[in-house]
């Protein structure tokens, strides 16, 4: 029992969240700004359909770990675990 609680606390400590939000809950928020189309032009927020799952996941991780610069995304993805980002990349690529 002690081990289980320790594990739970350890999992929770990364983001102070009691439970992980679903990929669907996160994705709904991505789609506020990012359209489900590929069209883009200068100053437009990029759409999502031109990326596959692997590309999306890598981009999200690169934003999170400072390997890819952007005005806003690094600030947002730091709110999610790597597993959550992988799950949301999978869901968005499937749509």
Q: Should residue 83 be labelled a site residue for other proteins when binding is judged by CB under 8 A?
A: no
Q: What is the C-alpha separation between 24 and 14, in angstroms, rounded? A: 21
Report angle CA 64, 69, 70 to the nearest 5 degrees. 90
3-state secondary structure of 66: coil
> What does the block give as tokens for 5?
């609680």
Nearer to other proteins, 56 or 88 (CB): 88
Q: Does 34 bind other proteins (CB under 8 A)?
A: yes
**Structural contact between residues 27 and 90, judged by C-beta atoms closer than 8 angstroms:** no
* CB of residue 32 to other proteins, shortest distance in Å: 5
Which residues inside 47-76 make contact with other proteins, applying CB under 8 A?
69, 71-72, 74-76
Residue 43 near other proteins by CB under 8 A: yes
Residue numbers at the binding site for other proteins (CB under 8 A): 12, 15-22, 24-26, 28-29, 31-35, 42-45, 69, 71-72, 74-80
């Amino acid at each position: 029992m002690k081990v289980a609680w320790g594990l739970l606390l350890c999992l929770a400590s990364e983001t102070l969240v009691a439970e992980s939000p679903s990929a669907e809950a996160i994705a709904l928020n991505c789609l506020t700004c990012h359209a489900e189309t590929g069209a883009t032009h200068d100053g437009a927020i990029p759409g999502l359909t031109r990326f596959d799952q692997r590309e999306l996941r890598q981009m999200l991780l690169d934003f999170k770990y400072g390997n890819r610069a952007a005005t806003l995304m690094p600030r947002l993805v730091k709110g999610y675990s790597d597993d959550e980002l992988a799950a949301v990349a999978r869901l968005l690529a499937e749509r």
